[in-house]
Structure 1
Amino acid sequence: MKSKIPIKKKCEWCGKDFIAYKVTTRFCSKQCNSYAYKDMLRNQRIKLVQDSIIVQEQNETDSKEYLSPKETAMLLSVDRVTIYRYLWDGLLPCIRMRGKTFIRKADIEKMFDEAKPYQKRHKNERAPISEFYTTAEILDKYGISESGLYKIAKSENIPKMFQRGKSYWSKKHIDAYFAKKAVDASITEWYSVADMKEKFHMTTTAVYTFVSNFKIPKKRIKKKVLYSKRHVDISKGIAEPDAPQYYTIKEAMAKFHVSRDQLYHYVKTYNIPKVQEGKYVKLSKKELDELFAPPTIER
């Protein structure tokens, strides 16, 4: 029975506001209702096709003796990263041939046959913080200002304590933060802003724009900022760039024709050195080249 009380609602198809007189009304017009009904039928047909494809793939997987990580993930109803984690931890044996990984189905069954009973995880108790820096010690050791220290402590949640009117900061957390921010130890020569202005005839604004655009490594000594001389000279074209020592993830994937998961699997299995530059991870060029080098036949 229709009510005479107007109810303000939003159409579930077009999103427009409309006035309804029944709480069960979902659409503003017959046309929107028709569109929604056809969309529901379409989604049902798509789901039926997708379900049939999954069933077909599962039937094909059941008839295979050797599976890929993707097929193994489908069999165990987990994602592919989890399968690679099992391989890294040695829970599941596999064989690799020319960048392809194969897992024997019998080994999967054996893994479950030899599985240990489930054990409840116990939370690791955090060790109490016993070593602290005073504010003066941090300013002297890392060459930052007091306002800079408080800004870092707020953003990184550095633990601190007050005792007799003084602030004490967790030594472990402070050292860990500045270890991440440490500059490359191979950089020994630096330019100040004044040096760059004098040598390259630049304004102060031009210097800051230049080092920002070319991502020049820098270090701060109290209020003074220094920039890597080698990187500046290379960017200015007055010095030859060093031969690349690292591959980016995309470069390694393209050169060795492997997926991202396979590449990380090799990095962890063979302990390939890597460095973090900003948000990018780079892998050692020498070790990757040696790992993927074609085998030599001795005569």
Structure 2
Amino acid sequence: MSSNIKINRICEFCKNEFTARTTKTLYCSLKCSSRAYKARTRKSKIEESNRQTEIAKKPDLEIAKTKDFISIKQAGLLYGISRRTIYRIISRGELDIAKFGTRTVIRRSDMDGFFTIPLQESMLRPVQEFPGLEQCYTITQIQQKFSISPGALYMLIQRNGIVKYAVGKFNYVARSEKRYRYYI
């Protein structure tokens, strides 16, 4: 089926301008279409070969990803930590193990659970809106007003969960006289 429309396009393969007769045409000729197909096929074969090479380099890692129980060595490869570190975690009682003769195995789900970061209460709190510059102190103003060192101030801010606002190169804290007097 032919159409009477003529659209100026640029060939995806040779980058030359051509007149297309449909809106879906990508290549200027059958020759460019064939060459683009061959280039895509060649690229996918190279990527598959590279993937197979990576698997061949680290066969234990691919095996460990599919198993429910893994050895200490496989756990080290999978999580990027040393065997000694895993043994220290086990000796502290933070991971359960199973022994088969001299072989030690770990449940992969236990390792996943050990390395997940629990959500803290501070992460679950909604973000507070910036009250505006006139309603805030800079860190320097708080230090001067209450005669406190920068390290102690940052420690108090962090320990008590006081919200800091970064605007440009300055850090601001909302003004609340009673709140600071209580902490300092």
Is TM (by shorter chain) over 0.5? no
TM score, norm. by length of structure 2: 0.43
TM score, norm. by length of structure 1: 0.30
Structure number with the bigger relative contact order (C-alpha 8 A, sep ≥ 6) is: 2
Q: Judging by fraction of residues, say which structure has more helix.
A: 2
